[in-house]
Amino acid sequence: MTASGRVVTASGALRGDVDDSRGLTVFRGVPYAAPPVGDRRFRAPQPVEPWDGVRDALAFGPAAVQPEGQPSMFGGLFGSAGLGVSEDCLTLNVWTPAVDDRRRPTMVWIHGGAFRMGTAGAGGYDGSELARRGDVVVVSLNYRLGLLGFLCSPELGAANAGLLDQVAALEWVHREIARFGGDPDQVTVFGESAGGKSIECLLAMPAARGLFSRAILQSTYSPPMDVEAAAQRARDIAAELGAGSADLEILRSAPVDALLAAEQRAAAAATAEGRTAPSGAGPVVDGTVLPRLPIEAVLEGSAASVPLLLGTTLDESRLFGALAPEPPVRDDETLAARLVSILPGDDPHRGRRAAAEYRRARSERGESIDPVDIWFAASTDATFRQHSIRLAEAYAARQPDTWMYLFSWASTSNEGRLGAFHAVELPFVFGTFDEPLGRLAGDSPEARSLGEAVQDAWLAFACTGRPKASALPDWPPYEPGRRATMVLGATCEVVEAPMDDERRLWESLQA
């Protein structure tokens, strides 16, 4: 250990891990807020209590409380990564090329996992390669998940605690990152899935304004964000614990295992009564922390000064289909019936209309028109792609530095059935091909070459606001009409308005 492995923060001294082989110093498990336990449960995060002496920052902190035993194909990326779980989870990690006064661009990663699972300490999120390759500081953070992070209860004054955790971590970066060789005035937030949705919310949150200067949204989506349904769910859980509707303090005092068990019972009871049980995880538009839907805030210019890079994978939904015991559809009839459940509007014939339009468009492009493949394409559009397109168009109306990608690299695993599945881009962004998800994506010289191009583009965006890379064609900004999109795959090319027939279909259904 050398002097470069030690940093004195406002809360106390930290001892990091000097990795001479990579020319980095890593600080793991750094607390950015007080443990949200006891009376602090569901509340906004509170400041860290200072410590005496030198605190070791050599091991990742525990993951937020979440379900254990995620499917093995995820390789631990969407679980606790063997780090254990705890309510005392508000820690972050820093990878820095040097503890000096250089003020490097800083990239802050927010992990995904449906707001229910995951950890910043997963091997697939190792920041070493980005920090080394780009001479940047990389930060990753934990935040409260599931019921503990996103319980919504006006009676308890609780809403969006997990988002407020992210704000607290960004405030820590703003105050402290210069001590680690980073630049607090040049911070890029990036995240995937629930991490991307988190950043979409941060763009709309008054509390987050000014804490970052650029944003990368990977596979953001549009989940239900209804505050009333979430508040009723809190009352249902309290009832399962034996409390009346006016005695919700039991939610703060109940043992965490009892609380999570009551959550499951409340969801089962709602289903038995024919009510739709809210997922229990994720942000809500509460009017205070999150004043309005993020896309509405963007249209009003909430983040007009922040350049944006966003996109999706080509076959997002195939990952979830791989977990199903049977194919989601078997023929054209079941395809049309299932499409009704994901399409907007009230046209009773929209399922057949959409099936026909997807079949025609895909046939003209030489793509499969098997009902299962059409279903995966439509469900990818329903959950991820069409929302990202609408967000890009709203954003580009205010911010000319808006850039869009479509990640098309297809996994060779599972006999090629996964395609360019949800999260396939992560090992390319982080250069973590030796991790399980990297092997699932398909580790090869070609994959690593694409990974270097993706990393260079992400790093260039973090440094300049423009995703340029020598191995990629010139990447024009996204603007309505042209809709230039960088396709990142076995071949990288700019395509104007890719799959535009499907976009027009969704636009007409939403009209």
The amino acid present at 82, given as its one-letter code, is G
Q: Are 191 and 199 in contact (CB under 8 A)?
A: yes
Active site residue 174: no
Catalytic residue among 11, 128, 153, 193: 193
Outline where DSSP puts E strands in 133-246.
137-141, 182-192, 214-218
- CA–CA dist 142, 169 (Å, integer): 9
Cβ-Cβ contacts under 8 Å for 338 (sequence gap 6 or more): 328, 329, 351, 375
Backbone angles phi, psi at 211, to 5 degrees: -90, -10
Closest CA to 49 of 34, 63, 59: 34
- Only one residue has tokens 């009376």, namely 39
Cβ-Cβ contacts under 8 Å for 203 (sequence gap 6 or more): 215, 294, 297, 298, 302, 303, 306
Show the DSSP H helices in 435-496 as ranges.
436-441, 445-464
Active site residue 422: yes
Active site residue 316: yes
Task: Indicate the burial class of 49 (C-beta count within 10 angstroms; 0-12, 13-18, 19 or more).
Answer: exposed
- CA–CA dist 467, 404 (Å, integer): 10
DSSP 178: G
Spatial strand order in the sheet of 54-56: 6-8, 13-15, 54-56
Outline where DSSP puts E strands in 154-231.
182-192, 214-218
Q: Are 119 and 90 in contact (CB under 8 A)?
A: no
Catalytic residue among 316, 357, 425, 502: 316
Q: What is the largest CA-CA distance in the chain?
A: 69
The amino acid present at 396, given as its one-letter code, is A
Could you give the 3-state DSSP secondary structure of residue 25?
A: strand
Catalytic residue among 111, 357, 408, 422: 422
Active-site annotation, residues: 193, 316, 422
